Amino acid sequence: MSDLRKHMPARLKVPSPGAIILVIIFVSLFYLGMRHADVTLERLTAGIGNMFHFISSAFPPDPSRISSISSAMYETFQIALVGTAVGVVLSLPIAVLASRNTSPNNLIRTATRGMVSTMRTIPDLIWALIFVISVGLGPFAGILTIIVDTIGFCARFFSERIEEVDKGPSQALESTGSSRIGVISGSVLPLGFASFVGTGLFAFEKSIRAAVVLGLVGAGGIGVELSTAFTLRRFDEALMIIILILVVVIAVEQLSSTIRKKVI
């Protein structure tokens, strides 16, 4: 009988009181959230009707302003490219300072990690609003936003990769009397290079999508055109912009994937 029980699938156990309380809290919050959002069948039905109205108004897409829209999309691409490139370069020394095996001391490591967490926690649009207030409207505010967002993303993953690298090459260099900078530049960074490139490419894909919406708050790019089209209810022009964004995002993802396969 005991052997038979060993081969039987595990049976569900009675949940603990703590688990039951967590489930009750989750269900209560879920119900309150649905009620606060006023989710009703009537609104869903009306929303589907409005969606069909938008789609019928948007087709066919209007290419009459394709020249200015393409120019705005090119500006978005530039914002993402410049912001990501600068962000990735700055992420490397920040990641070195934030890593357990390369940071000079715990105080610097903790302060650097706190700074990176802050950059990552604050949403892109809030950073864009801050930089629009600081440096004014336009792509420069967008580039600064992408730089901060890229550092928050890349520095964390760079740091984790640095902490995972094989200690053998570092110890070999240390035994020869190499300095800390020599050990980092001669073993840690080369070992993590492929991972850094992969993460940087992911960050670029992420930046393209983020740069699209930065224009909604005045930080330059295609978002300005998209916001204007929706405000003026030019849905056919808005669809043309969405199609162009889709083409660029897919092209960047395919290019990024190809480079990643060759490097990693």
Residue of 120, 57, 77 lying closest to 223 (CA atoms): 77
pLDDT tens digits, residue range 192-234? 888 888 888 888 888 888 888 887 777 777 888 888 888 888 8
d(CA 110, CA 215): 34
Q: Is the pLDDT of residue 2 over 80?
A: no
Binned at pLDDT 50, 70 and 90, residue 6 comes out as low
The model carries a pTM of 0.79
Radius of gyration of the chain measured on its C-alpha atoms: 25
Residue-wise pLDDT for 172-193, tens only, equals 777 777 777 787 777 778 888 8
User: Per the omega criterion (within 30 degrees of 0), is the bond before 93 cis?
Assistant: no
Give residues with Cβ within 8 angstroms of 179, minimum separation 6. none
Pick 262 or 127 by higher pLDDT.
127
pLDDT at 188: 79
Report the 3 state secondary structure along 25-91: HHHHHHHHHHHHCCCCHHHHHHHHHHHHHHHHHHCCCCCCCHHHHHHHHHHHHHHHHHHHHHHHHHH
Model confidence at 98: pLDDT above 90:
no
pLDDT of residue 7: 67
| Confidence at residue 174, expressed as pLDDT on a 0 to 100 scale | 75
What domains can be seen in the chain, in order of their start residue? 71-263 (1.10.3720.10)
Mean pLDDT rounded to a whole number for the chain: 84
More confident residue, 166 or 72: 72
Res. 1: pLDDT tops 60? no
Q: Distance (Å, rounded) from C-alpha 104 to C-alpha 195? A: 23
3-state secondary structure 111-168: HHHHHHHHHHHCCHHHHHHHHHHHHCCCHHHHHHHHHHHHHHHHHHHHHHHHHHCCHH
Please say whether the dihedral angle defined by the alpha carbons of residues 226, 232, 234 and 237, taken in this order, is positive or negative: negative
- Note the pLDDT of residue 221: 79
Q: How far apart are CA 78 and CA 229, in angstroms?
A: 22
pLDDT tens for residues 25-64? 999 999 999 888 888 888 888 888 888 888 888 888 888 8
Mean pLDDT of 4-29: 81
Residues 78-94 pLDDT 10s: 998 999 999 999 999 99
* Cα 111-112-118 angle, rounded to 5 deg: 90
Residues of the chain with pLDDT > 90: what percent?
A: 14
Rounded Cα distance, 58 and 48, in Å: 15
Encoded tokens for 43: 């609104």
Which amino acid is it at 208?
I
Cα–Cα distance between 221 and 211 in angstroms, integer? 7
- What pLDDT shows up at residue 3? 61
Q: What per-residue confidence (pLDDT) applies to 83?
A: 92
Predicted confidence at residue 9, as pLDDT, reads 67
pLDDT greater at residue 179 or residue 70: 70
Residues above pLDDT 70, as percent of the chain: 95
What is the token pair recorded at 79?
Answer: 């914002």
Of the candidates 226, 91, 221, which has an alpha carbon nearest to the alpha carbon of residue 150? 91
Check if the beta carbon of residue 238 is closer than 8 Å to that of residue 59.
no
